[in-house]
Amino acid sequence: MTRHPDRADDPDRRSPASDSDVSTHVYLCTGCPLGCRLEVDATEEDVVEVRGFNCRKGERYGEQEHLDPRRPLSTTIWIEGATIRRVPVRTAEPIPRDQVRAVAEALRGLRVTAPVRRGDVVVADILGTGIDVIVTRDLPAVSPHNQLPAG
């Protein structure tokens, strides 16, 4: 992979060669089909240099992925009184990557009752992330003989 030419010429951003507390981390860029293998040199606190990118987006992705990797999470929860048994929900914003499993587990047993509307908040500030979990589709309440029991 090539170093970005602008970046190679920028003396301020070059990592000091003898810096012993700098470690290198490898990430796969997800921005485009190129899938660049990014090498991120970082100290405990900050990113020193990103290598292997072919565009500015890739460079930013490397920094973000190292310092604060985030993922959108979607799942489904039980709904009663609707024509289907599960209603899809998602985090309103991407959440920290290492919280994804915990949030999915926290939502697993959740139950709501129809009607629900797209955008309804089912859990505010999930697990202290500061991010809400919202419904992603309308499901009207239906008359009892058209309902499916939630599992």
Partner 1 sequence: MPFTAEPRHLEAGYDVVVVGAGPAGMAAALGARDRGAERILLIDRDVEPGGILLQCIHSGFGLHAFDEEITGPEYAQRYLEQVLEHDIDVLTDAYVMDVSSERRIKVMSPTVGVTGLDARSVVLAMGARERTRGAINIPGDRPSGVMTAGLAQRMVNIDGYLPGRRAAILGSGDIGLIMARRLALEGVEVVGVFELLPHPSGLTRNIVQCLDDLDIPLHLSTTVVGIHGRDRLGRITVAPVDDDRQPLLDRGWDVDVDTLLLSIGLIPDAELARDLGVLFDPVTGGPVVSGTMETTLPGVYAAGNVVHVNDLADWVSREARLAGEWAGALATGARRPDEDVRLIPGDNVAYVVPHTISRDGTHTVSFRVQRPIHGPTLLRVGEVHQRKVRAVVPAEMVTLKLAPRMFEDWTGAVLRIDAVPAEAVVR
Residues in touch with partner 1 (CB under 8 A): 28-30, 32-35, 54-55, 71-76, 78, 83-86, 88, 90, 97, 100-101, 104-105, 108, 118, 136-138, 142, 146, 150-151
How far does Cα 146 stand from its chain's mean position? 37
Output the smallest distance, CB 132 to partner 1, in A: 15
Q: Let me know: does 102 contact 75? Beta carbons within 8 Å.
A: no
Q: Let me know: does 103 contact 129? Beta carbons within 8 Å.
A: yes
Output the smallest distance, CB 111 to partner 1, in A: 11
For partner 1, which is the closer residue by CB, 66 or 86?
86
DSSP for residue 127? G
Output the smallest distance, CB 26 to partner 1, in A: 11
Output the smallest distance, CB 32 to partner 1, in A: 7
For partner 1, which is the closer residue by CB, 11 or 149?
149
Strands (E), 3-148: 23-28, 37-42, 47-51, 70-71, 74-80, 86-91, 95-96, 111-113, 121-123, 133-135
For partner 1, which is the closer residue by CB, 8 or 32?
32
For partner 1, which is the closer residue by CB, 24 or 83?
83
Amino acid code (one letter) for 92:
A
